[in-house]
Amino acid sequence: MKRGFLLFQSKGGLFLGMILIFLFEAGISGCGKSPDDDPSKPVICTPQAPNVNIYREASVSVLLTPSVGAPNGASGVAAGLSAEQALALLQGTPIQGLPLAVPVDTTSSLWALVNETKNWSDVQTIKLDDSNEAQIVVTFISPQLIQAIFNSEVSRNGYAVSNPQPALDVVAAREELIFYVTVITTANNNINTTPHKILIPIQKMVIMNAEDVAAPPLHDDHVLAQPINSAFEPVYGYLTYPIAMIHANDCSWILDPVYNKKIIIIVPDIFVDNISVGPYTWVIPYSSLFKVGISSNSQTNMPIDPNLIASSLTPPSPMESLLIPNGLPENTFWQIYAGFLWKQVMLGIY
């Protein structure tokens, strides 16, 4: 179920602005109250530790490599551009003195998009009846995933871009962690099946860290908290959590990477037709025990179909699993879901 509005047409140099506006607005558009107005909301704080905000952890430069046949006609490679220079170049304003560049490998950008989407996601399957199931996908919009989405969009427009620090700075200023939640069923858009009502107590969907601190959401798209009809269209929206919060009169860093090697999100109940079907847990790899100079988490060499990814505007149908043996193959599922998530961020529909 789509909610919100189209910020811009995804053309020319406007995609940088779309990312920045989406990432800023996502934390405020879904809630009518501030955390201070709601006693169930966490009280945010700033711990006395370096690199607490992962979106601000490293200051990097935007690298632009316009490809042959770029839509704005520019060519060259630029390193260390300011945000203003990067945006000017993306909008077609020439910058003098840029050396020639090699063509952009769009397939590599899309492969990274699919890989990062899968790496930063987890899926739980819920049995609705003897012939229908639901899946809930939780995705952490990590710095690596933001970069992959950014690169996919700009390479589609004729540039290769890495390290989108302007976008990351906007996220960092909000002092919260962004997640995306998607609810899909085997009966979506099918009025000929028996509908079921799915209810997620979204304010009880907490991050449980290594110190047993339960961090509730800061902001949520309220459509996720409403009863979901399994026969209607999929439902999706954002969910954000504090980077740090007051706990036991102390400022607790929720995802200190020294101790939190996984992001663990739990919900005590999910209700199907007003009956609890039990607690559910999503586990997303977060931090390695030690660093070896390799970026991101695990890599997979799945084959991809660029046209399938680029044309994906809606969530996929459920993925094959033990409960859904006839579901979409895993490779196809993650390509469609990555393309869908890309469009959500770039178009600001949430």
- What pLDDT shows up at residue 289? 76
128 is written with which tokens? 């609705």
How do the domains of the chain map onto residue ranges? 12-54+122-143+162-289+307-347
- CA dist., res. 108 & res. 295, Å (int): 15
Is the CATH number 2.60.40.10 carried by domain 12-54+122-143+162-289+307-347? yes
pLDDT of residue 152: 86
User: Which pLDDT band holds residue 130 (cuts at 50, 70, 90)?
Assistant: very high
Contact 244, 253 (CB under 8 A): yes
Residue 48 pLDDT exceeds 60: yes
Tokens 């930063």, residue located: 120
pLDDT (0 to 100) of residue 147: 87
Q: Name the percent of the chain lying above pLDDT 70.
A: 69
For residues 2 and 226, which has the higher predicted lDDT (pLDDT)? 226
User: Average pLDDT for residues 252-270, to the nearest whole number?
Assistant: 95
Antiparallel, parallel or unpaired: β 250-253 and 244-247: antiparallel
For the whole model, what pTM was predicted?
0.80
Tell me the one-letter amino acid at 258. V
More confident call, 350 vs 209: 209
